[in-house]
């Protein structure tokens, strides 16, 4: 699609300073909403809680001493806790690096009838609606998952009319699953 035909479309354009805390929260939603987050997080919780329970049961049943069981299980439990920490608190760990990288950077998002345009210091991309894998609306932002990355549009800077326009564009053009909050702009 040419640049001039994109301008004739219905679109919502937004320029904003990138906020590290907001970026971190959007990253967590994207991580937990993706395929990996849906199964890995609950599985890690179950394993992290089950391994010590089985160890205690082994000691109580007399199949091994406490020191034998602890030395066999401790490395695995530590590894599980590290992976669980990654999934639960990833933005907190990532924070110092991203804060230095994005301080003072400007981002631009354009949601239009043809898709999502992203321009800024971290990334530049055009993602047509056909390539968007899912859309999720939270109280804080809209999150669009493309084939490679997830992009967020902060709602703090949008007017009520722009919120409604984005919801209408998602409903009208996105064939992928969309989780929109109840409210204005929803198709009934």
pLDDT of residue 140: 94
pLDDT in tens, 11-26: 999 998 887 778 778 8
Average pLDDT, the chain: 80
pLDDT in tens, 160-173: 999 999 999 999 99
Structural domain boundaries of the chain?
3-18+105-179, 29-102
pLDDT in tens, 41-69: 677 777 777 877 877 887 788 887 777 77
Q: Is the pLDDT of residue 2 over 80?
A: no
Strands (E), the chain: 11-17, 106-112, 115-120, 125-128, 134-137, 141-145, 150-154, 178-179
pTM score above 0.75: no
CA distance 85 to 83: 5
**Class assignment of domain 3-18+105-179?**
mainly beta
* C-alpha gyration radius of the chain: 22
């Amino acid at each position: 699609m040419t640049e001039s035909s994109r301008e004739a479309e219905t679109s919502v354009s937004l320029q904003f300073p990138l906020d590290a805390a907001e970026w971190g929260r959007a990253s967590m939603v994207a991580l937990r909403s993706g395929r990996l987050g849906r199964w890995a997080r609950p599985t890690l919780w179950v394993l992290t809680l089950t391994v010590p329970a089985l160890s205690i049961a082994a000691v109580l049943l007399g199949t091994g001493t406490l020191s034998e069981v602890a030395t066999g299980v401790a490395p695995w439990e530590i590894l599980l806790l590290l992976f669980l920490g990654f999934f639960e608190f990833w933005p907190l760990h990532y924070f110092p690096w991203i804060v230095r990288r994005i301080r003072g950077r400007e981002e631009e998002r354009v949601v239009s009838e043809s898709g999502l345009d992203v321009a800024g210091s971290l990334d530049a991309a055009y993602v047509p609606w056909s390539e968007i894998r899912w859309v999720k609306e939270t109280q804080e932002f809209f999150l669009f998952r493309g084939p490679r990355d997830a992009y967020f549009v902060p709602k703090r800077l949008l007017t009520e009319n722009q919120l409604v326009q984005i919801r209408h564009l998602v409903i009208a053009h996105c064939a992928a699953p969309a989780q929109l909050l109840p409210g204005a702009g929803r198709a009934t």
